[in-house]
Amino acid sequence: MRKKDPVTELRRGALELGLLAFISKEACFGGGIIIGLAEASNGGLSLTEGALYPALHRLEKNKLLTSDWRDGVDGGRRRKYYLITENGLERLNVLSLAWNELSDGMTALLEGDE
Amino acid sequence: MMPAADTTAQIAIEQYLGSLRKGMFGVAGRRKRDVCDEIGADLEARIARSQGEYQSVFSNAADPVALGKAMRAVHGISWWLRLLFWIPAPLLGIFSFPMISAFFPAVPTTLFLALGTLLTVSAGAVGGRFAGLVTGLLVAVPRIIWLLVTTVLIEFVQESIGYSSWSVDGGTAFVILLTSILLPIIGFLVGKRVSV
């Protein structure tokens, strides 16, 4: 069995929150999310398609995101844009609060070790 | 079409999407087309942004077959494919019951059990946990029903006429029950979640 990278696992846990937070600001397509998320998180959430698309489709299936197809730029292929739903916003609030608590707790714990 | 890309880049995108489709084997056709349209458009945008350096885009892209399998894990397989697994499953269960050989020696019950197991494993591998579990149950339940009916019938005949040349011994019943219980478990375990 393949050994899981602990850093990848940690990021995977934050993926849903990261995607919901990013898409809540503006509707975006997959390629744009990869670049935008990496820039907005200072490289902390650098995603590959292998992680992004299944996560987006799972969120859409769970009705936390919705999507629409828009015409591509300069006659390019049409793109699928993701938008956050009411349920998605509620989930984002819950996850944000939990994340802040966790982050404060972990920061205090790790700084206490120094 | 893509403004900044040449035909070679378009061919590379189509090859990538072809492998993605292979990874999504069993997913409903419309869903497969949507996923390919979405990922194809994103690849095209990235190639345009890289000013035609499409090789670098593909060298950083995810393995398309693994990505297709991950998408299949999200969306599951089509109902047609599920029915292809589920319709023969009860028949294999019925004909894998060992005591059929007592009445019809030509029926290869062990072969039918092996085929039932193969079908369950295939359903789990292609369709995920749910498809594997249901296929295993559809093979197992007729075997358990057969066992109960046979046991009750033999006891009824023995009580009615005081004699029966057939009997279900405890060892055989145990093996039938054990293999029947294992089938849905195997289907469920084979259909583990795909991670990329």
Residue A6 in this model has a pLDDT that exceeds 60 = yes
**A1 located within any domain:** no
Q: Contacts of residue B2 in chain A, CB cutoff 8 Å?
A: 76-77
**B160 located within any domain:** yes
Q: Which residue has the tokens 């966790």?
A: A102
Q: Which residue has the tokens 């019938």?
A: B153
Residue B196 in this model has a pLDDT that exceeds 60 = no
Alpha carbons B69 and B126: distance in angstroms, whole number: 9
Question: Phi/psi class of residue B31: alpha, beta or left (left: φ > 0; alpha: ψ in -120 to 50)?
Answer: alpha
Q: Is the pTM of this model over 0.90?
A: no
Chain B nearest-CA residue for A68 = B38
On whether both B141 and B97 belong to a single domain, the answer is: yes
pLDDT on residue B4: 45
Number of domains in chain A: 1
CB nearest to A57's CB, from B43, B44, B75 = B75
Work out the pLDDT band at B103, boundaries 50, 70, 90. Answer: confident
Closest CA to B41 of A66, A31, A49: A31
Share of chain A above pLDDT 90, in %: 52
Domain that holds residue A104: 6-113
Instruction: Calculate the average pLDDT of chain A.
Output: 87
On whether both B141 and B69 belong to a single domain, the answer is: no
CA separation, residue A65 to residues A22, A48, A59, A88, B36 (Å): 12, 19, 6, 6, 19
**A85 located within any domain:** yes
Alpha carbons B183 and B117: distance in angstroms, whole number: 7
Residue B151 in this model has a pLDDT that exceeds 90 = no
Q: What is the CATH number of the domain that holds A40?
A: 1.10.10.10
- Degrees to nearest 5, angle at CA B100 with B95 and B105: 105
> What is the tens place of the pLDDT at every residue in B108-123?
989 999 999 999 999 9
Boundary residue ending a domain (B35, B54, B75): B75
pLDDT on residue B10: 86
> What is the tens place of the pLDDT at every residue in B38-90?
999 988 888 888 877 778 888 888 899 999 999 998 998 898 899 999 999 99
B162 or A63: whose pLDDT is higher?
A: A63
Q: Which residue has the tokens 């259909």?
A: B191
**B60 located within any domain:** yes
Residue B1 in this model has a pLDDT that exceeds 50 = no
List, in sequence order, every residue forming a beta bridge with A79; answer none if it has no partner: A70
Look at residue B18 and give its three-state secondary structure: helix
User: Residue range B156-178: average pLDDT?
Assistant: 79
Residue A2 in this model has a pLDDT that exceeds 60 = no
**B1 located within any domain:** no
Number of domains in chain B: 2
pLDDT on residue B19: 96
Give the least confident one: B37-41, B83-87, B137-141, B156-160.
B156-160
Q: Count interface pairs A-B at CB distance under 8 A.
A: 78
Q: Contact B38/A54, CB-based, under 8 Å?
A: no
pLDDT on residue B128: 86
**A102 located within any domain:** yes
**A66 located within any domain:** yes
On whether both B173 and B137 belong to a single domain, the answer is: yes
**B43 located within any domain:** yes
Sign of CA dihedral B32, B35, B41, B44: negative
Boundary residue ending a domain (B58, B75, B92): B75
Closest CA to B116 of B87, B130, B136, B142: B136
On whether both B44 and B130 belong to a single domain, the answer is: no
Boundary residue ending a domain (B42, B75, B108): B75
Alpha carbons B13 and B104: distance in angstroms, whole number: 57
On whether both B63 and B95 belong to a single domain, the answer is: no
Alpha carbons B99 and B71: distance in angstroms, whole number: 43
Looking only at the bridges linking them, the beta strands covering A79-84 and A65-70 are antiparallel
pLDDT on residue B54: 79
**B2 located within any domain:** no
Alpha carbons A45 and A16: distance in angstroms, whole number: 11
Give the least confident one: A104-108, B135-139, B159-163.
B159-163
**A71 located within any domain:** yes
Picking from B42, B63, B75 by the largest number of A CB atoms within 10 A of its own CB, the best residue to mutate is: B42
Helices (H) and strands (E) in chain B, counts: 9, 0
On whether both B117 and B87 belong to a single domain, the answer is: yes
On whether both B53 and B108 belong to a single domain, the answer is: no
Domain that holds residue B70: 7-75
On whether both B176 and B101 belong to a single domain, the answer is: yes
**A79 located within any domain:** yes
Picking from B17, B74, B193, B194 by the largest number of A CB atoms within 10 A of its own CB, the best residue to mutate is: B74
On whether both B55 and B90 belong to a single domain, the answer is: no
Alpha carbons B65 and B25: distance in angstroms, whole number: 10
Instruction: Calculate the average pLDDT of chain B.
Output: 87
Residue B142 in this model has a pLDDT that exceeds 60 = yes
How near does any CA of chain A get to the CA of B166, in Å?
48
Q: Which amino acid is at B121?
A: V
Residue B148 in this model has a pLDDT that exceeds 50 = yes
Alpha carbons A19 and B62: distance in angstroms, whole number: 19
Q: How far apart are the first and last CA of chain A?
A: 36
How near does any CA of chain B get to the CA of A53, in Å?
8
User: Residue range B26-43: average pLDDT?
Assistant: 92
CA atoms within 13 A on the CB side of B169: 3
> What is the tens place of the pLDDT at every residue in A23-47?
999 999 998 898 888 888 887 778 8
B167 or B142: whose pLDDT is higher?
A: B142
**A62 located within any domain:** yes
**A96 located within any domain:** yes
